[in-house]
Amino acid sequence: MSRLYSVGKEEAMLAVFSIVPVGVGSSIGDQLAEVLKVVDASGLPYKINAMGTVVEGEWDDVMKLIKQCHSTVKKTGERAFTTIAIDDRKGRPGRLEEKVKSIERRIGKSLKK
């Protein structure tokens, strides 16, 4: 599937998203595990952190993935809150790794990741 994606082209953007299932109790780890399976299988470059998943790709590929994740949560629950933040900069692919490194170079110090 990954060959369908276009990271490395000029049009790639960064996005972070998180989904909060509502109405399934205060433990939402099972739902999030299903979401991360979808992300991991997508072939899109990603990195997860304690508050969300960062992905890199073209608009349509990223949004297709997020829709798939959101739908996964809606399958087992009747309400979901999804937040998405996009940083789209012309001609800057490869930023999933590069953006943090660029800050570290400026500071001259390795940061916690």
Token representation of residue 107: 């500071």
Asked if 10 touches a second copy (CB under 8 A), the answer is no
Q: How far is the CB of 17 from a second copy (least distance, A)?
A: 9
Residue position matching structure tokens 């629950």: 77
**Closer to a second copy at the Cβ: 4 or 30?**
30
Q: Which is nearer to a second copy, 3 or 106 (CB)?
A: 106
Instruction: Name the minimum Å distance from CB 1 to a second copy.
Output: 16
User: What torsion do the CA atoms of 81, 83, 19, 2 make, to the nearest 10 degrees?
Assistant: 140
54 binds a second copy (CB under 8 A): yes
23 lines the binding site for a second copy (CB under 8 A) = yes
Buried b / exposed e along 99-108 (16+ C-beta atoms within 10 A) = eeeeeeeeee
